[in-house]
Amino acid sequence: MSRYERTCLIRGDGGRAIRGILDRIANKWTLLVVATLHEQRMRFGELQQRIPGVSQRMLSLTLRHLERDGLVSRTAYPEVPPRVEYELTDVGRTLIDPAVRLAEWAVEHNPDIDRSRRSYDEHRPPEPDR
Protein backbone atom coordinates (compact mmCIF):
# COMPACT_ATOMS: atom_id res chain seq x y z
CA MET A 1 0.00 0.00 0.00
CA SER A 2 1.52 3.31 -1.09
CA ARG A 3 1.80 6.35 1.12
CA TYR A 4 -0.91 8.05 -0.91
CA GLU A 5 -3.25 5.08 -0.64
CA ARG A 6 -2.80 4.99 3.10
CA THR A 7 -3.75 8.60 3.57
CA CYS A 8 -6.73 8.07 1.27
CA LEU A 9 -8.11 5.58 3.74
CA ILE A 10 -8.11 8.32 6.32
CA ARG A 11 -8.88 11.30 4.15
CA GLY A 12 -11.32 9.56 1.81
CA ASP A 13 -14.72 11.29 1.53
CA GLY A 14 -13.35 14.25 3.42
CA GLY A 15 -12.60 12.10 6.44
CA ARG A 16 -16.17 11.10 7.10
CA ALA A 17 -15.39 7.44 7.73
CA ILE A 18 -12.60 8.02 10.22
CA ARG A 19 -14.60 10.79 11.83
CA GLY A 20 -17.57 8.50 12.26
CA ILE A 21 -15.56 5.87 14.06
CA LEU A 22 -13.83 8.49 16.18
CA ASP A 23 -17.15 9.99 17.17
CA ARG A 24 -18.08 6.54 18.37
CA ILE A 25 -15.00 5.53 20.32
CA ALA A 26 -13.44 8.86 21.15
CA ASN A 27 -15.22 9.41 24.39
CA LYS A 28 -14.05 8.67 27.84
CA TRP A 29 -15.51 5.22 28.38
CA THR A 30 -16.32 3.34 25.18
CA LEU A 31 -12.97 1.63 24.66
CA LEU A 32 -12.70 0.78 28.32
CA VAL A 33 -16.10 -0.88 28.25
CA VAL A 34 -15.28 -2.79 25.08
CA ALA A 35 -11.93 -3.93 26.44
CA THR A 36 -13.48 -5.01 29.73
CA LEU A 37 -16.24 -6.96 28.00
CA HIS A 38 -13.63 -8.60 25.80
CA GLU A 39 -12.53 -10.68 28.77
CA GLN A 40 -16.00 -12.09 29.36
CA ARG A 41 -19.69 -11.27 29.32
CA MET A 42 -20.62 -9.26 32.37
CA ARG A 43 -23.38 -7.69 34.42
CA PHE A 44 -23.90 -3.96 34.83
CA GLY A 45 -22.62 -3.78 38.37
CA GLU A 46 -19.59 -5.90 37.61
CA LEU A 47 -18.69 -3.58 34.75
CA GLN A 48 -18.97 -0.59 37.00
CA GLN A 49 -16.67 -2.17 39.56
CA ARG A 50 -14.08 -3.07 36.96
CA ILE A 51 -14.01 0.37 35.36
CA PRO A 52 -12.76 2.72 38.03
CA GLY A 53 -14.36 6.14 38.01
CA VAL A 54 -17.29 5.52 35.71
CA SER A 55 -20.64 6.82 36.95
CA GLN A 56 -23.89 4.90 36.63
CA ARG A 57 -25.12 7.45 34.18
CA MET A 58 -22.11 7.34 31.87
CA LEU A 59 -21.87 3.55 31.94
CA SER A 60 -25.55 3.36 31.10
CA LEU A 61 -25.24 5.83 28.24
CA THR A 62 -22.12 4.18 26.86
CA LEU A 63 -23.72 0.75 26.89
CA ARG A 64 -26.81 2.01 25.14
CA HIS A 65 -24.75 3.66 22.41
CA LEU A 66 -22.76 0.47 21.94
CA GLU A 67 -25.96 -1.52 21.80
CA ARG A 68 -27.42 0.81 19.20
CA ASP A 69 -24.28 0.48 17.08
CA GLY A 70 -24.51 -3.29 17.33
CA LEU A 71 -21.19 -3.67 19.12
CA VAL A 72 -22.67 -4.95 22.37
CA SER A 73 -25.68 -7.16 23.01
CA ARG A 74 -27.85 -6.75 26.09
CA THR A 75 -29.72 -9.60 27.77
CA ALA A 76 -32.20 -8.89 30.56
CA TYR A 77 -33.39 -11.83 32.64
CA PRO A 78 -36.94 -11.54 34.02
CA GLU A 79 -35.96 -12.18 37.61
CA VAL A 80 -36.15 -10.45 40.94
CA PRO A 81 -33.80 -8.79 41.60
CA PRO A 82 -33.11 -7.89 37.97
CA ARG A 83 -30.11 -9.29 36.17
CA VAL A 84 -28.77 -7.85 32.94
CA GLU A 85 -25.77 -9.14 31.07
CA TYR A 86 -23.74 -7.45 28.40
CA GLU A 87 -21.60 -9.13 25.81
CA LEU A 88 -19.55 -8.09 22.80
CA THR A 89 -21.07 -8.99 19.46
CA ASP A 90 -18.95 -10.40 16.63
CA VAL A 91 -18.61 -6.93 15.18
CA GLY A 92 -17.75 -5.54 18.60
CA ARG A 93 -14.93 -8.04 18.98
CA THR A 94 -13.35 -6.89 15.73
CA LEU A 95 -12.86 -3.46 17.23
CA ILE A 96 -10.37 -4.80 19.75
CA ASP A 97 -7.64 -5.21 17.20
CA PRO A 98 -7.37 -1.63 15.93
CA ALA A 99 -7.89 -0.39 19.48
CA VAL A 100 -4.95 -2.43 20.69
CA ARG A 101 -2.77 -1.02 17.92
CA LEU A 102 -3.65 2.42 19.10
CA ALA A 103 -2.90 1.51 22.70
CA GLU A 104 0.45 0.06 21.66
CA TRP A 105 1.29 3.29 19.90
CA ALA A 106 0.28 5.27 22.96
CA VAL A 107 2.36 3.17 25.33
CA GLU A 108 5.36 3.29 23.01
CA HIS A 109 5.33 7.00 22.27
CA ASN A 110 3.95 8.58 25.38
CA PRO A 111 7.44 9.22 26.74
CA ASP A 112 8.45 11.04 23.55
CA ILE A 113 5.33 13.13 23.61
CA ASP A 114 5.61 14.02 27.27
CA ARG A 115 9.19 15.08 26.73
CA SER A 116 8.25 17.19 23.73
CA ARG A 117 5.50 18.89 25.70
CA ARG A 118 7.74 19.75 28.58
CA SER A 119 10.32 21.17 26.21
CA TYR A 120 7.69 23.17 24.35
CA ASP A 121 6.14 24.57 27.50
CA GLU A 122 9.55 25.49 28.83
CA HIS A 123 10.45 27.62 25.82
CA ARG A 124 7.05 29.27 25.76
CA PRO A 125 6.14 29.75 29.38
CA PRO A 126 2.38 30.15 29.80
CA GLU A 127 0.85 33.20 31.47
CA PRO A 128 3.39 34.22 34.12
CA ASP A 129 0.83 36.34 35.95
CA ARG A 130 -2.93 36.18 36.32
Closest CA to 99 of 87, 107, 111: 107
122 binds, among DNA, a copy of itself, none (CB under 5 to 8 A by kind): none
Q: Pick out residues in 43-72 that bind a copy of itself (CB under 8 A).
A: 51-53, 67-71
Nearest distance from residue 21's CB to a copy of itself, in Å? 4
32 binds, among a copy of itself, DNA, none (CB under 5 to 8 A by kind): a copy of itself
Q: What is the full DSSP assignment across 50-90?
A: HSTT--HHHHHHHHHHHHHTTSEEEEEE--SS-EEEEEE-H
Q: Per rule CB under 7 A, is residue 50 in the interface with DNA?
A: no
